[in-house]
Chain A
Amino acid sequence: MLNLIFSIDDDKVTQMLNQMIFNRTAFAKKCLAFMNGAEAINYFQQLNERDASLDNVPALIFLDLNMPVMGGWQFLNKMEEEVIQRFPGIKIVISSSCLNPIEKKQADGNSNVIAFLNKPLTLDMINTLKHHPELKMNFGVCDKYNLTQRKFADSI
C-alpha cells in the first residue's frame, strides 16, 4: 500500500468516488484531494525539503486534465520546473475523460507520467496499476504479468 497519494480533480463527486475506489482496493493509506493544479503546487511550496517524508510527499498523483485555475498540462509543467527536483520520485497518473489520442501521446512524452487512464477509474484499473513496474514494490503482489511499462499502459 502507498502511504500518501494526491487526487487532483475539480469534480467533487469524482473525488468522493476516487476515495472510495482507493479505499476498497487498499491502494493508499491516505489520499489528499485538491480541486485544481494550483492548490497542489501551493502544497509543495509550503513544504520544506527537510521535513519531507513518505507521509507528506505523495508517491503518486492522480491528475485530471481539464480544470479551472490551473489545468493538468500546466500543473505538469510546474511540477517539472519547481517540484520534482525538490521532491524526486513523485509519479503521475493522468485520468481524463477526453478521448483525444493526441493528448495521450503528449502524456507519453512526460517521464513523470506513468499511465494515462480514461475516466471513470475502476477497481480493476487500480488493481492493475498495483502491478506497474514503478509501483509494484509497494504492494505485496507477485509479478505474475511481468509487464514492461509500455505493455502495461496498453493493458489497461
Chain B
Amino acid sequence: MPNSTKLHVLIIEDNEGDFLLVTNYLSKVFPFANIIHCTYLAAAIALLKQQTVDIILLDLSLPDSNGEQSIKQLKALNGLPPVIILTGLADKQTGINSLRLGVQDYLIKDDINGAVLQKSILYSIERERIQVQMAQSEKRFRSLIENSTDGLALLNSVGDIIEMSSAACKILGCNSTEFLGLNRPGFLHPNDARKVSKLFSAVVKEPNKVLTLNFSVLTPGGDYIWLETYFHNLLDDTAVNAVVLNFRDITRRKNNEAEKKQLIDELTKSNADLKQYTYITSHNLRAPLTNLISIINLIEWQKIKDDDTRILLEAFKVSTSLLNETLNDLMEAIVIKESGNSKQTELSFCDINDKVTRSLHSMIVQGQATIKSNFLSAPTVHFDAGYLESIFINLLSNALKYASPERDLQLDIKSYRVKDGVELIFSDNGIGMNMAIVKERIFGLHQRFHTNADSKGIGLYLVQSQLNALGGGIKVTSNINVGTTFTLNFKKQSAYA
C-alpha cells in the first residue's frame, strides 16, 4: 500500500489552477507521490494502457469528454484503478450519479483539503481492493458451481425454481426455469410426486434442514431422468433466501440397478424352481421306491418254487437297492448344498479312520489291503463329523474298488499342517487314471471313468461338495497302473472358526 511504496496518482484535469491546487494538497499528505497529469481523456486512456497507477482523479468537464461519458470510457479499460471524481459545486448531482457507474468517491473542488483528499484516496484504494477481491471470490465460486457436474438450483418456499446453474440446465435439458419446479404439473413422476412434496414441506418447515431423496422428473425432451437430490433449507439465510437444491443425474445407475435387480429376481426364481423341482423329483421318486422296497421285504422267498422267477426277483431286489442308494446319495448332495448349518467340532483323524476301517473291515480283508496311516503332524481338524466320516468312507472304498488286480492294495493316509490349514493325503497303488482325460471332471456329478458295476459316479462329487461347503478343497494326481493321490485341504478359518 502507498504508505510504504510510492503512490502513483493520475490526475485528469484541464484546468491548470485546479490541477495545481490538488497537487499542492497531495504533496502535503503524500510527499513522495508520483503525480502524472493529463488534460485530455484520450491521452489518459492511452497512458493507462501503458502503465498502471494507484488512483485516478478525474475532472468531469474535459476538452474531449464530459461527465458520465468519461467514466464509461475509463471503465471500459481492463484493470482500472479506483477513480475519484472531482467536480464543481454545480455538478454535485453528476458526482452522486457517478457513484452508480462504479467510481469510488466524488469530491467537490471547493471542499478539498489535504485531509479530505488523503482520506478519500486511502478509502478508495482500500474499497477497490476489497471489491476486486470479492468479485474474484464470487467469480471463483460461480465457476466452481458452473463447472460442477452436479446441478444446483435455488427454490423458493413453494418450490419454484428461481435460479439454476449451467450444470443444472444441462442435466434437466432446459435453459429456462419456466417449465421446471416441484409444483409444475407433470414435472415430477406420478409415482414420486407425493413423496417429493412431502419431503419438500418437511424441509421448508425447519430452517437449515437437509433432506435427501432420489426421484425422477420429466425433462422438456419428454424423458424421465432419475435425480439424486439434497434439499437444504436456507430460506432464513438473508444472503441466500432460498432452498438450495443440489442434484445429480443417476438415471444410468438406476437403470443398471433395475437391470441387476431383474436379473437377481429371475435367478432367485429359477433357483427356487430348481430346488422345488429337485424336491418334487426326489419325493415323487421316493414314494414308489419305498413301495418297491416294502414289496421286496414282504416277499416270502421260501414260497417261490420257480427258479426263473426267483432269479428275476433277486435281480429286482438288487436293482431296487441300488436305486435306493443312488437316490439317497442324491438327496445327501442336495442337503449338503443347502445346509449352511453343519456342526463343526475338533475331530481326531485317528478316531474317524478307525471307525471307518472297522466298518469296511470285510472289504479290506477281502482285498488283502494294507492301510498305513500317520496323523502325528496334524492329529485333528475342525470339521463336520458326518462330512469327514463320509469323506473317509468314499475315499477308502474308492481305493478298494479301484485296486490293481496285479498287486495288493497299499493305501497311505497322512495328515500335514500347512500354511492355511490342514492337508489330508490319500495315496494308493491302484489302477490309476489318465489325468489328461479325466481332469477336473472327476469331481463332477455322475462322472464315471471305470466300468465297475457298483460305480455310481457320485462319491467324489460328495467329497468335493462337503469340503467346499466348509471352505476346503480337493485335488487329485494319478498315473495309470501306478496309483492315485488325493490331497484334501481343510482351510484354517474352519480350523479356528
Q: Which residues of A are interface residues toward B (Cβ below 8 A)?
A: 11, 13-14, 17, 20-21, 24, 66, 97-99, 119-123
Contact = CB atoms under 8 A, between A and B. Distances in A.
Contacts of B295: 17
Interface residues on B, range: 10 to 19
B286 interface: yes
A120 B290 CA distance: 5
B213 interface: no
Interface string B439-469: 0000000000000000000000000000000
Given A119-B294, A120-B291, A122-B297, 18 more contacts: A11-B287, A11-B288, A13-B288, A14-B287, A14-B290, A14-B294, A17-B291, A17-B294, A20-B298, A99-B331, A119-B287, A120-B290, A120-B293, A120-B294, A120-B297, A121-B294, A122-B294, A123-B297
Contacts of B294: 14, 17, 21, 119-122
Contacts, number: 40
Question: Which 9 A-B residue pairs are closest in the complex by CB-CB distance?
Answer: A120-B294, A120-B290, A119-B290, A97-B286, A17-B294, A13-B291, A120-B293, A97-B290, A122-B297
A56 B312 CA distance: 43
15 contacts: A11-B287, A11-B288, A11-B291, A14-B291, A17-B291, A66-B283, A66-B287, A97-B287, A98-B283, A98-B286, A99-B331, A119-B286, A119-B290, A120-B294, A123-B298
A100 to B, nearest CB: 9
* Residue of B287, B295, B297 with most partner-chain A CB within 10 A: B287
Nearest to A97: B286
Nearest to A13: B291
Nearest to A124: B297
Nearest to A95: B290
Contacts of B290: 14, 97, 119-120
Contacts of A11: 287-288, 291
Interface in B191-221: none
B182 to A, nearest CB: 53
A99 B290 CA distance: 12
Contacts of B291: 11, 13-14, 17, 120
A13 B292 CA distance: 9
Contacts of A122: 294, 297
Contacts of A98: 283, 286
Nearest to A17: B294
Nearest to B296: A120
Contacts of A21: 294, 298
A26 B441 CA distance: 53
A9 to B, nearest CB: 9
Contacts of A97: 283, 286-287, 290
Contacts of B331: 99
Contacts of A119: 286-287, 290, 294
B313 to A, nearest CB: 16
A17 B283 contact: no
A8 to B, nearest CB: 14
Interface in B316-341: 331
B481 to A, nearest CB: 40
A68 B467 CA distance: 38
Nearest to A14: B291
A66 B282 CA distance: 13
